[in-house]
């Protein structure tokens, strides 16, 4: 196994506030790793340190076989980074934006590289269109073309599909998997559970701490969550009666159904027993990835409150 990223002891503080805490991360070459966590958890800061845009307070290891962080400039040249917000020039055309990026990287064959990028992402017919006139999905394609124009070995994507329609998200992920098939390593932050499930594995960060790592199936199994689903008329309204009862750690409506979860099976079953009657039907189901992450967030939040006390 060849590791594209192998770092440990990664720390970063701003104004005395520790944003990333002793993060250790190993990512296999050619893998797509989903980087999850609530807003403000340290995802963007970690991505920016890995690609050399931020200098860590401490940390060591290697990225793309180069020493981290001493060879940050060399790492940066082999890394593509796509920011949360569209960051290209809106008063330039698609073609002009890509040509500018090519010259920033001092690439040869600028015209042919731009043509190839336009073809690859279906932008040829729009090459003369101003970036400001593009929809969210097309801006996303342009940003991905710009991030991969210099043929990077590592691609860091910071919530790349926020605000785009489902078809554009699906097309984007098809392209990410195509890039991965060529050997490019991808680390992508996202809030969408369906996107997380499309990754080879997942890293979950909370309050700067990396608290979970593995495939979706591994994380679900490791959670030890037991989940029951209630179906039937008004099942989702049972949340008010069940929330906070002993043994119930989470109550989550799913449309007209209700997910009730906990790690103590006997206590959970005792809590829902009074509601096992018509018109409701109860069935044990596998916890969803969303169930697992909400559970992790609540558990870690309680731990941090305990530490503060």
Q: Does the bond joining 69 to the residue before it have cis omega, within 30 degrees of 0?
A: yes
Q: Tell me the pLDDT tens digit for each residue of 260-289.
A: 999 999 999 999 999 999 999 999 999 989
* Per-residue pLDDT at 30 exceeds 70: yes
Q: Is residue 194's pLDDT more than 50?
A: yes
What confidence tier does 298 reach under pLDDT thresholds 50, 70, 90? confident
| pLDDT classification of 242: cutoffs 50, 70, 90 | very high
pLDDT of residue 66: 97
pLDDT score recorded for residue 87:
86
3-state SS class at 7: strand
Query: CA-based angle 22:32:176, to the nearest 5?
Result: 135
Coil, helix or strand at residue 60 = strand
Q: Angle of helix 94-104 relative to helix 136-148, nearest 10 degrees?
A: 20
Q: What is the mean pLDDT of residues 206-213?
A: 94
Residue 129 pLDDT grade (very low, low, confident, very high; cuts 50, 70, 90): very high
Res 240: pLDDT: 92
Q: Quick one: DSSP state of residue 213?
A: E
Residue 258: pLDDT over 50: yes
Quick check: 122 pLDDT over 90? no
Which of the four pLDDT bands, split at 50, 70 and 90, describes residue 302?
low
Assess whether the previous peptide bond of 271 is cis (omega < 30° from 0). no
3-state secondary structure of 226: strand
In the chain, the domains with their CATH numbers are 3-217 (3.40.50.300), 220-308 (3.30.70.250)
**Whole-angstrom distance, CA of residue 159 vs CA of residue 47:** 11
pLDDT at 20 over 80: yes
| Cβ atoms of residues 175 and 144 within 8 Å | yes
Query: Residue 309: pLDDT band by 50, 70, 90 thresholds?
Result: very low
For range 300-306, the mean pLDDT: 51
Reported as a pLDDT band with limits 50, 70 and 90, residue 303 is: low
Q: Is residue 305 scored above 80 in pLDDT? A: no
Residue 120 or 209, more confident = 209
Phi, psi of 82 (to 5 degrees): -115, 115
Which residues have C-beta within 8 Å of that of residue 22, sequence separation ≥ 6? 8, 9, 10, 11, 209
Three-class SS state of 125 = helix
Mean pLDDT for 217-224 is: 92
pLDDT for 301: 62
Work out the pLDDT band at 162, boundaries 50, 70, 90: confident
pLDDT-derived band at 308 (thresholds 50, 70, 90) equals: very low
- pTM of the predicted protein model: 0.90
Report how far residue 241's alpha carbon sits from residue 229's, in angstroms, rounded to the nearest whole number: 15
User: Which residues make beta-bridge pairs with 203?
Assistant: 35, 213
């Amino acid at each position: 196994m060849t590791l594209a990223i192998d770092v440990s002891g990664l720390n970063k503080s701003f104004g005395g506030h520790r944003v990333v805490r002793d993060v250790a991360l190993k990512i296999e070459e050619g893998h797509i790793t989903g980087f999850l966590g609530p807003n403000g958890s340290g995802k963007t800061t970690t991505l920016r340190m890995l690609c050399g845009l931020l200098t860590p307070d401490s940390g060591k290891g290697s990225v793309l076989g180069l020493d981290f962080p001493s060879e940050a400039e060399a790492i940066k040249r082999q890394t593509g980074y796509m920011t949360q917000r569209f960051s290209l020039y809106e008063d330039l055309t698609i073609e002009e934006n890509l040509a500018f990026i090519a010259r920033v990287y001092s690439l040869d064959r600028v015209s042919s590289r731009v043509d190839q990028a336009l073809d690859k992402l279906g932008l040829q017919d729009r090459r003369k269109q101003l970036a400001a006139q593009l929809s969210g999905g097309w801006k996303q394609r342009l940003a991905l073309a710009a991030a991969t124009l210099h043929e990077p070995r590592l691609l860091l994507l910071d919530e790349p599909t926020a605000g785009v329609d489902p078809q554009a998200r699906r097309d984007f992920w098809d392209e990410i998997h195509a890039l991965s098939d060529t050997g490019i390593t991808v680390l992508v932050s996202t809030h969408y559970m369906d996107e997380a499930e499309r990754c080879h594995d997942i890293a979950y960060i909370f309050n700067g701490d990396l608290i979970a790592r593995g495939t979706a199936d591994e994380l679900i199994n490791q959670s030890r969550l037991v989940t029951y689903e209630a179906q039937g008329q008004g099942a989702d309204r049972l949340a008010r009666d069940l929330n906070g009862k002993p043994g119930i750690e989470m109550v989550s409506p799913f449309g007209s159904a209700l997910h009730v979860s906990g790690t103590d099976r006997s206590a959970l079953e005792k809590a829902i027993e009074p509601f096992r009657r018509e018109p409701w039907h109860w069935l044990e189901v596998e916890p969803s990835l969303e169930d697992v992450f909400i559970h992790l967030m609540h558990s870690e939040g309680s731990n941090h409150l305990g530490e503060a006390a």
